[in-house]
Chain A
């Protein structure tokens, strides 16, 4: 068991172009500080003895610790800051190395993708700080803190009930694994990464989903709304979009519900792969344009079971409750 928990909060999330091209709202850093404060109080209530936090130029964790007045030290990792996603990957790796029992993340899909590159087997409690995320969930910080505490301390039965192994979409370029997505890979008919987000339905060409999900915003909804989609959770999905296909209405960004034309779609089982044929284009990973691809490159996407371990907050707390974790001795 571990009495130590990590916190990785991305100061940059919640401000991208989706505020202009869709109806996303700005998620301010003072609210992130408030959330971390409630996470810390949740951890404190269940006997966590140390928190390791990623430092950042905004001082999110430091300010939260000052305000929360908890009984344990909040240690900022001693690491150089690049003020980019690399910080989150690095922090996650350092936390895993230090033996934390759980990592709480604050950010969007991109933040969690970066953390997943470094966290190894340490389970994540991903708190969404935005309205356009498919991987992290909107959950109260207090509950996230309590759940992280019971998971970190390996209360018997909690891990079995409250943790699932996430899938991953591995991206290969000319046979070499170059990156992965947690939720979706989209071939977007544009040449540049530019402002990152994807929102123009006419440029969304190939969509690969780790999970077709009717309950989320973004490309994963497109698959989720198709009849006969593999919504039973067992398989992913491969879709080709283009004129003359089946027209599907889907929420691809906050407040942006649009028709897309799906020419073909098939399920994608774990271990299966396909080839992206749209080039030049930019591969968007979890909704962020990341990798420009050229016609002479062979790009394959394979569904794998190598994603991070993710905590289901409600299930973890329920299991802990059954074990009597929340029952306190009567005062005499």
Chain B
């Protein structure tokens, strides 16, 4: 159960990182985030159905959500970037909510019973004397690798530092010669890919249905809040922690109550530690 919790938590972490990166752009909350994830999963399903091998289908799916991120940045985010402060937050909420509803509507209309289940879950493998399902193992390996790469990229590479600099002080970043528009574009692409990736890894242990969008968004929001909105490492740590909490609570109390437990965790964070688990840090 501990392993299951960690595996789930790693995915939660990635989900939170994708949302929190975009939030770093002056408080933009992307409420279409979960729908983007589901759309990635659906593209994978359709591509596989068209006969492509799973690996290729996943690549196509992730590229599609990346492109969707790019599209959002180039279209409906334009007026959002022109606003500052509360106006930016509110406008982003309204517009992305709309986009989410549109994606939801399209998916449910076209594929009312569609779902992505990457079936590698069945057979159990044994590592370090612990039995683990193949799907769980693969999902964890992918999540750890991606998370590690993301953190290394953001902390160590020049481009990664440029991304963090825009999040920390946009005016400062412009003064040193960074083009914030290019960074925003990159963040939206990365965020889309992360969302899609999490939907794919989730589907390795249980099917991801067309209507799962809103659940992904809520989950990402909770993780990002507990990690301290805008904090990348915080989101990752919060994800792992909440993954454990979620697994334990789902086992002893039940799936439905688990969402409430997680929401309570987020609310408690805001009340007790508004800067998130690790404090403000990008």
- Bound pair (A, B): no
| Chain B residues packing against A (C-beta within 8 Å) | none
Residue positions of A touching B, CB distance < 8 A: none
